[in-house]
Structure formats: structure tokens, C-alpha cells
Amino acid sequence: MSRRLCLVLALCALPAAAGAAPPFPSLSDAGLLAPGRWSVGLVAPLRIGLDSLIELDTHVISWFLLAPNVQLRFRHVDSDRLRLSSHLGLSLPTGAMWLLRGYLFPSWESSERKIGWFVVPELGVAASTGRRLVVTASASLAVGVLAGRNEATPPETYAPLELVFAPALSGHRATLQLSADYALVRWLRLRLETTVHHTGQGEQPRSPWVVALSGGVDVAIRRWRLCLGATYYNYDQRAQELRRDGDTWRREGVRSNDVFPSLDVVYVR
């Protein structure tokens, strides 16, 4: 009797196991959204699946800061083993630089320096593998193209803001990124990313390398995704410290280390 009962319970459990919902997709996956699907976040871009091969992305907040931007993503391969895509982007950061004059660039508050018109094209490629454990590698290059005269210089502030304006004010921003995103349970993903940026040096040379390491959790609540994390940056902010050399003291340049918390809320439709 006990054997028959166990068999019946096992057979009843099979449909439930087969119908168990898979983990929600990684937000950093190189794959594109299906046609008609879209998502938007406070920080994450607005993504719209146009058709089976093209997705349209744009950062909404940048438009409010007078920095129009648009990116087209193209699907090349789409399978469990490999998702391969590329993107072409274009942004106009000059409006944001005007808007932030006197804040992000305090020395310009009463200055007659002219901020030039910049166009920033960007080209990138990304590849992902896996579904439960998603590993993604990506590379991109953004270049600032100046139209007219410009006297603006890099703001030399915190790394996240430096990187936003780097293509325009220092010439380029090249980025390599490797991330791992693991679905711990159906509604919770853990992520870890390491990123290396290379930027132009500007008029006063400094180290062009910016290294970032970030980690966090993504929680699915119905159609919402709550993303919590932190990012560590190692970069050259022209910081100096006193060091003793025998009987004398001297100032020596050191790299800065900062940690910034991150919070995003993404709606997926």
C-alpha cells in the first residue's frame, strides 16, 4: 500500500515540477527583448523590442538633462549556449554640460569659456552564455566628435561622472566588461561585474585607466525588478599624499579608491 501511495504522489508531483517557472532573465544578458516587449528603469535604459533582430534603447533621464541619446541593438545569434549582439549608439552631451555649468564644473560659473558642440557615436558588441548562470562579456568604444570651438576640459570629479563626459572632453572611452549573473532562486539573482575603462588624457595628462568592480542582487516582484548593489572604483583623481624619503618629505601622486551604492527599479512589460 505504501509503495502505491508513493508512486501516486510521485506522478502527481511531475506536472508541478515540469510547470515550475524558470528564473527571470538576467538584466545584463546580451540577448534582445522580444518584439513588442519593453522595459524601463530609473537608471537602466528604456528598451523596446522592435522586431526579432532589432531593439531600440535610450536613457530617459539623459533626455531630461538635455542630452539626447539613442542606441540600436542587433541580434546575431540567439540560443541557450550563445547570445551575440552588437550596438550602434549616438548621443549629444552638450546640453547637459550647459545645464550643469556652475555645478559639475564650478570653475565655469563666471567664466567665458565656451562649451563646444559634441556628437558621440558608440560601437559595441556583447556575448552571453547560459540561462541560470549567465556569463556576459562586452566591449564598446565611444568617440567624441567636436563641431566648432571648445574650451571645456574634463571636470576631474568622481569616476561615474568622469566616464559620462569622457568621450567628449577627453576624446574617447573604451570599455571592457565581464559579468556573472546567477539565479539563486526563481525570483532572486546575484551578480558580479568587473569593468576596465580607458579614456583620453586631456590637456593635463593623468592615468587613463579606470577599474571598477561591482556586485549586487536583483529581486523580481511581479513585473518589477529591484536592483541593489555597490561599485568600487580605482582611478586617478590627481590625489596626493605626503611620503617620507629619508630626512625629507615629498608629495607623491596616488590613485583614488571610492565605493558608490547603487539602486535601480526596472519595470518589465
Stretch 38-42: mean pLDDT: 96
Q: Judge contact between 176 and 249, C-beta under 8 A.
A: no
Q: Calculate the alpha carbon distances from 77 to 16, 32, 80, 83 in Å.
A: 32, 10, 10, 5
Beta bridge partners of 126: 85, 138
Q: Does 19 score more than 90 pLDDT? A: no
User: pLDDT category, 3, cuts 50, 70, 90?
Assistant: low
**In the chain, how many domains are there?**
1
Question: Where on the phi/psi map is residue 84: left (φ > 0), alpha (ψ -120 to 50), or beta?
Answer: beta
Q: Does 7 score more than 50 pLDDT? A: no
Residue 231 lies in a domain: yes
Residue 203 has a pLDDT of 65
Residue 100 lies in a domain: yes
Residue 241 has a pLDDT of 76
Residue 133 lies in a domain: yes
Q: Does 25 score more than 60 pLDDT? A: yes
Count the alpha carbons within 13 Å of 82 in the hemisphere toward its beta carbon: 5
Lowest mean pLDDT among 45-54, 74-83, 195-204: 195-204
Beta bridge partners of 19: none
pLDDT, one tens digit per residue, over 77-123 is 999 899 999 999 999 999 998 888 877 766 566 566 788 899 999 99
Residue 10 has a pLDDT of 43
How far apart, in whole angstroms, are the C-alpha atoms of residue 198 and residue 125? 17
Parallel/antiparallel/unpaired status of strands 54-58 and 38-41: unpaired
Residue 110 has a pLDDT of 58
Count the alpha carbons within 13 Å of 155 in the hemisphere toward its beta carbon: 24
Residue 2 lies in a domain: no
Stretch 161-174: mean pLDDT: 94
Q: How much is the mean pLDDT over the chain?
A: 88
> Domain limits at 72?
24-268
Residue 84 lies in a domain: yes
Cell numbers 590625489 correspond to what residue? 239
pLDDT, one tens digit per residue, over 224-247 is 999 999 999 999 988 877 777 777
Q: Does 258 score more than 70 pLDDT? A: yes
In three state form, how does the secondary structure of the chain look?
A: CHHHHHHHHHHHHHHHHHCCCCCCCCCCCCCCCCCCCEEEECCCCEEEECCCCEEEEECHHHHHCCCCEEEEEEEEEECCCCEEEEEEEEECCHHHHHHCECCCEHHHCCCCCCCCEEEEEEEEEEEEECCCEEEEEEEEEEECEEECCCCCCCCCCCHHHHHHHHHHHHCEEEEEEEEEEEEEECCEEEEEEEEEEEECCCCCCCCCEEEEEEEEEEEEECCEEEEEEEEEEEEEEEEEEEEEECCEEEEEEEEEEEEEEEEEEEEEC
pLDDT, one tens digit per residue, over 110-153 is 566 788 899 999 999 999 999 999 999 999 999 999 988 888 88
Stretch 211-235: mean pLDDT: 97
Q: Does 2 score more than 60 pLDDT? A: no
Residue 106 has a pLDDT of 65
CATH of the domain at 143: 2.40.160
